[in-house]
Structure 1
Amino acid sequence: MHISDGVLPVSVAVGGYAVSLGLTVWSARKTRNEDMPKLAVMTAAFFVASLIHVPFGPTSVHLIIPGLTGALLGPSAFLSIGLGLLLQSLLFQFGGLTALGVNALMMGVPAIACGWVFQTFKGQTPSRQALVGGVVGAVGTVLAAIILAGFLMTGGEDFLGVAKIALAAHVPVIIIEGAVSALTVGFLARVKPALLLHPSRQAHG
């Protein structure tokens, strides 16, 4: 799901960097020192999951876990995803540095939204939390795919077909992401429910 260098207009890439920088600063301010271990684990999980690419026509698909990252990290999810993307770009040239801002928006904004949805509707029982976790896991990838298609269409009519293929290619990924998120959240709800609380909720809990 990474957008490569040179695909988008310069104005879009620059605008992506500007918005991403603002969200990264906000995300960093929302992250407490005691949350750094969890952030590091989720950054590593995102890094590894999105390294495994499966070719699909002119594009490729892979797990991106924005919904799960948002459910576990809340506002810190944007920082986590941004760090993972930066490492992938520097170490493996996935996405490229000029597209880093838009890639961060594509995966980070759905993560923030899913984090809010999860905390609002997760309830108290492990079964409910697993269900909501599965829903946000799937929805996070849906949103990311839609944003990807939107960015690709700014590159001109040549990328319209690619945008449609990218949306279709992520249907199986959406199903897998939902299942993985449901299983992960359900497991954590039973063995370590504190990990499902965001900092603001812990402070008032």
Structure 2
Amino acid sequence: MAHIPDGLLSIPVLVGGGIAAAAGVGLALSWLEDDRIPEIAILSAMFFVASLFAVPVGPSSVHLLLSGLMGLTIGLATFPAVMVGLLLQALLFGFGGLTTLGINTLNIALPGVVFGWLFLPLVRRLQPASAGVAGFFCAAFSVAGTGIGVALALMLSSSDFVPSAKIIGATYVPLMLGEGLITGFAVAFLKRVRPETLGVPPLGERNPT
């Protein structure tokens, strides 16, 4: 349940998540280079489509996030890519909510950005097969980060959500494996055919011209 619906979270959690997500989007846009917009749009569209297909797991459901892959390929731009996808899903299909747009964006995008940044040096140095293994762990840890973020948002909103939050967090374990495998194969493939798509410079460092 990465798409937390309206009406569940407390005002402080909603406001805090909204501010943090807005900061991430603003920072990403301030460093966004025009030639990367098509790539970001494609990944945002992939996220939009992939996360429409939810698989029931226990009392909750899970769906692909692709945040690890986005973190490795577009870096901080994962924030606007995820926010646009979530906004369209909320408006067109009622997934998630508008008041929770900020916290949902934060929970999905932040782990992808953080672990993408941590694993990117490995992916750049390693051969395709080994880079795929690094991509697997990047995606798995990103999914785990999202599960922790969702659980924390619920628990910080009300102590009544603590039992549910623990169960929902556990449902992310199979998604870690599935998303890790998909991202691992994608990273290995990109490393072979278009290695330049893997990774953007760290914040504050422009691409060489």
Change (3 A) 1:203 1:124: farther
Q: Equivalent residue for 1:72?
A: 73
CA distance in 1, matches of 2:121, 2:192: 19
1:1-205 to 2 correspondence within 5 Å?
1-122=2-123, 123-199=125-201, 203-204=207-208
Provide the secondary structure at the position in 2 that maps to 1:97.
Answer: coil
8 Å Cα contact 2:112/2:139 also seen in 1: no
1:32 to 1:196, Cα distance in 2 relative to 1, 3 A: same
Greater mean alpha carbon deviation, residues 179-188 or residues 79-88: 79-88
Q: 1:149·1:164 contact (CA, 8 Å) conserved in 2?
A: yes
Task: Tell me the TM-score normalised to structure 2 length.
Answer: 0.92
One-letter identity of the residue aligned with 1:12: V
Q: What are the Cα deviations for residues 36-83 of structure 1, in whole angstroms up to 9, with x where unaligned? A: 111011101111111111223432211111111111111111111111
Q: Supply the distance in 2 between the matched residues of 1:134 and 1:82 (Cα, whole angstroms).
A: 24
Unaligned runs of 5+ in 2: none
1:8 maps to amino acid: L
Q: What is the percent sequence identity of the aligned residues? A: 38
Please say which of residues 8-17 and 116-125 is displaced more in the overlay. 116-125
| SS in structure 2 of the partner of residue 55 of structure 1 | strand
The question of whether the paired residues in 2 share the 8 Å contact of 1:73 and 1:115 is answered with no
Structure 1 gap ranges (5+):
none
CA contact (8 A) 2:25 2:79 kept: yes
TM-score of the two chains, using structure 1 as the length reference: 0.94
**Root-mean-square deviation over aligned CA pairs:** 1.7
Distance 2:103 2:186 in 1: 28
Deviation at 1:105, TM superposition (A): 0.6
| Amino acid in structure 2 at the alignment position of 1:20 | A
Matches of 2:36 and 2:201, distance apart in 1: 8
CA contact (8 A) 1:75 1:115 kept: no
Inter-partner Cα distance in structure 2 for 1:168 and 1:138: 13
